[in-house]
Amino acid sequence: MAKPKTSPVDKVLDFVKSKKIKFIDFKFMDFPGQWQHFTVPATEFDAKSFENGFGFDGSSIRGWKAINESDMLIIPDAETMFFDPFIQAPTVSLICDVYEPATKEKYSRCPRNIAQKAVAYLKSTGIADTVYFGPEAEFFVFDDVRFDTTPNSSFYFVDSVEGRWNTGTDEGPNLQYKPRYKEGYFPVPPTDALNDLRNEMCEVLLDMGIPVEAQHHEVATGGQCEIDLRFQPLLTAADQLLIFKYVVKNTAKRNGKTVTYMPKPIQGDNGSGMHVHSSLWKNGKPLFAGGGYAGLSDMALYYIGGILKHAPALLAFTNPTTNSYKRLVPGFEAPVRLAYSQRNRSAACRIPMYSASPKAKRVEFRCPDPSANPYLAFSAIMLAGLDGIINRIDPGDPLDKDIYDMPAEELANVPETPGSLEAALKELAEDHEFLLKGDVFTEDVIQTWINYKMTKEVKPMALQPHPFEFSMYYDV
């Protein structure tokens, strides 16, 4: 007789008991995109924890509840368990969903709930049953970071032993080997001073069961890096991206360094993007391979058409900070032209041509950056692509030229991404019907996102004098 399968809950409880786990750490995502957590002793954790959950104050979480309706629940997802290597006492971490305590329904503003609804909607369309995502989240490793803003002053200072600006610094001694500006991709050590650190990050990820495909230095001087994870279904990809950021930051910290996923922390060198690869599958078969341009199916081309059409609104989720638009500037390294092409990295949508296998056929959206909330960003990208498929949106002709070298008169016919977060939010306000399909996003979520970003980020930034303004205008 076949041995009965062990349930995910039983696996968690068996692991906690056998490994003598002392604490359970519950991690969940706030509205803007920051992981939150709280911890209970293992003695307070049992099978009922996966039914009854644990209460917390929702009014203290950004973008959520008013103080008069603050009680909320988190319920852990047993399939997300991992041993947490950064907590001193033996600790298991679980990713959680957020619920309304009165109804036991999932909270509509919980980003993970939105991603779960996106997956359910995809299946309901019959178009596909799985959407895979492969994000490439770039980041900077710094040795020193200082910043402050007061009513009468403002400054920031970042430093890296790799920074080309330190070639003349007395480091007692200065051994040089500092990547030139825009030439960090990717000389061998000793110029690449962070190889061992990235390997350590990869070891931790692999030990946690997260597949890593490659690691390397990125283009910018001063510590820009990339670690590539294997593509996964939407919800898993978002969960793993958060674990990835957690691992990278904590591994850097225990080595006396600090990591930022801020898109543009250094002026005059490349910013950090998060190129997002996606593809649709059904019954275990890829749907994006075909006989069209770059080996794509009609479905894939329509998917691109949907992304390009809705890209100005999409960027409110995929590039959700004011700093994001310091990277997305015409004429510089980031793709701002809403066009598609095979191999061409200057187009917003690229079709990688590394492999002829139908399973490798995918679409790479190159505008996003790693400040994005992955649950919201991946869901929005998929919904835009599905809208393209359902409405057979023609992406137009591909653009196989180097966009950076095209004359102005030709470029005038190629649309651009929004020039600021405020502009992207205005686009989202006008174009979000495609996000409401299947009740994935709701009007409340859209309006709360717009209001939060305008009130907490766009308007405060507009009111803040910038240090560079003093160099331009002080003597007027």
Kindly list the catalytic residues.
Answer: 57, 136, 138, 218, 226, 275, 345, 364, 366
Give the Cα separation of 93 and 79 in Å (integer).
11
C-alpha to C-alpha distance for 351 and 343, rounded to whole angstroms: 6
* C-alpha–C-alpha distance, residues 120 and 232, integer Å: 16
Q: Is the C-alpha dihedral spanning 57, 62, 67, 69 positive or negative? A: negative
Tokens of 336: 């701002």
Return the H-helix or E-strand segment holding 173: none
The counts of H helices and E strands in the chain are: 13, 18
Rounded to the nearest 10 degrees, what angle do helices 374-390 and 111-125 cross at? Answer: 20
State how far the Cα of 299 lies from the Cα of 388, in Å rounded to an integer: 9
The pair phi, psi for residue 317, each rounded to 5°, is -105, -35
What element of type H or E holds 233?
Answer: strand 232-233
The answer to whether residues 279 and 286 touch, using CB atoms and an 8 Å cutoff, is yes
Residue with structure tokens 């299947």?
A: 438
* Alpha-helix residue ranges (DSSP H) falling in 188-233: 195-207
DSSP symbol at 273: -
Between CA 186 and CA 218 the distance in angstroms is: 6
SS3 200: helix
Task: Tell me the backbone φ, ψ of residue 327, rounded to 5 degrees.
Answer: -90, -40
Q: What is the DSSP letter of 53?
A: -
The string of DSSP codes covering 336-348 is -EEEEEES-TTEE
Calculate Rg over the CA atoms of the chain.
Answer: 23
Q: 97 is written with which tokens?
A: 């969903």
d(CA 286, CA 100): 38
27 vs 132: CA distance, rounded Å: 23
Contacts of 282 (CB under 8 A, 6+ apart): 127, 128, 129, 130
Estimate the crossing angle of helix 298-318 against helix 443-453, to 10 degrees: 50
Q: Give residues with Cβ within 8 angstroms of 335, minimum separation 6.
A: 345, 346, 347, 348, 366, 367, 403
SS3 306: helix
